[in-house]
Amino acid sequence: MSDKTNIFASEHNESPAQTIRQTMAVSLDDDGQAVVSFATNRGKGSGAQILPVEEYRDYVETLESYVEGGIPEEAEQELLSAAETVRRTIKSDDGVISFRVRSGKGAKPAKMPAGEFAEVVGLLRSTLEAVENAGGQLAGGSPDEE
């Protein structure tokens, strides 16, 4: 047997910590901002994590809180209020504002032109009382009767 082909030659069996040690670097991005980059794994479907150095401490402390307190089950994550879900998902990209009001499988973002955002929010504001009253009636009583 002179010629061998290693079936697992293309697999990397490094631990995430080893990969981070080999790949972590601090550099300036195209805008001159200091960023830290590193990979936690290699291969198809993986890529570097890149974040501003000024956000790194908060990033690490957040991860530490999950190490200490555990990662919530998906059901718990879905219990976020709509407002909190919006806070976590709102973005503006190429003149389009998008956000989600719930997370989880099948949740789709609301999308609208940035120029119409204030109008849409104004419309939603104008429906507050009607929506709350309708919700109160469905829940078993009108707020006016209390």
What average pLDDT does the chain have? 78
**Count of beta carbons in the 10 Å neighbourhood of residue 85:** 19
> Model confidence over 44-78: pLDDT tens digits?
766 778 888 888 888 888 888 887 887 666 555 55
Take residue 141 and report the two structure tokens written for it: 């009583």
CA–CA distance, 134 with 143 (Å, rounded to integer): 9
Q: Which two tokens stand for residue 139?
A: 């829940």
pLDDT digits (tens, 9 = 90+) for 136-146: 778 675 555 44
pTM of the model: 0.49
Per-residue tokens: 7: 């079936």
What CA–CA distances, in Å, run from 114 to 85, 91, 97? 19, 10, 6
Identify the burial level of 74 via C-beta atoms within 10 angstroms of its C-beta, where 0-12 means exposed, 13-18 middle and 19 or more buried.
exposed
Q: In what order do the strands lie in the sheet with 110-113?
A: 91-93, 96-99, 110-113
* Ramachandran sector of residue 145 (left: φ over 0; alpha: ψ -120 to 50; beta: rest): alpha
In eight-state DSSP terms, residue 114 is G
- pLDDT for 86-100, tens place per residue? 888 888 889 888 888
All structural domains of the chain with their residue ranges: 16-71, 81-145
